[in-house]
């Protein structure tokens, strides 16, 4: 097996484990929250309220698909509609205060667990991992 094939295998494992961990995170926020909903909620929390078309564009899905996702998040009380300050006809979707608070608490607990595990690593290994992940992610950037 060559090095690139080994990387492919490790990335596949990483993504599988990540999806599993994120399903656990989602369940801590709300038992009915699906993985896609968690990703949308996290993005909205990071970037701020956004129009449906912008959210759909970010995820590369149609407006109908995103509309259904946002409706499910609204029904769970995790996302709310707001009027855009620059256009009273436009609607922005953003996380509710409860969603923001719960997501922050769950993310912090998740990352404290990871931080504790990284404590057993050599600090230079942690720095190298961060540096290499930035470089890897930059390969996918437009």
Rounded mean pLDDT for each run of 10 residues along the chain, 142 residues in total = 90 94 93 96 95 95 96 97 88 96 92 93 96 91 61
pTM: 0.84
Closest CA to 33 of 77, 82, 93: 77
Residue 14 φ/ψ, nearest 5 degrees = -55, -45
How far from 32 is each of 29, 35, 89, 106, CA to CA, in Å?
Answer: 9, 10, 31, 16
**What is the pLDDT at residue 86?**
86
**What is the pLDDT at residue 142?**
61
Q: How far apart are CA 14 and CA 11, in angstroms?
A: 5
Q: How far apart are CA 53 and CA 62, in angstroms?
A: 8
């Amino acid at each position: 097996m060559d090095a690139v094939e080994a990387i492919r295998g490790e990335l596949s494992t990483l993504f599988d484990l990540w999806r599993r961990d994120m399903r656990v995170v989602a369940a801590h926020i709300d038992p009915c929250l699906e993985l896609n909903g968690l990703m949308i909620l996290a993005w909205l929390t990071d970037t701020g309220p956004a129009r449906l078309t912008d959210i759909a564009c970010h995820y590369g899905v149609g407006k109908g698909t995103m509309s259904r996702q946002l409706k499910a998040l609204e029904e769970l009380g995790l996302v709310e509609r707001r009027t855009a300050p620059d256009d009273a006809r436009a609607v922005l979707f953003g996380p509710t205060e409860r969603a923001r608070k719960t997501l922050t608490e769950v993310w912090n607990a998740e990352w404290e667990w990871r931080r504790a595990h990284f404590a057993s690593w050599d600090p230079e290994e942690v720095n190298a991992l961060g540096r290499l992940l930035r470089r890897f992610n930059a390969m996918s950037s437009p």
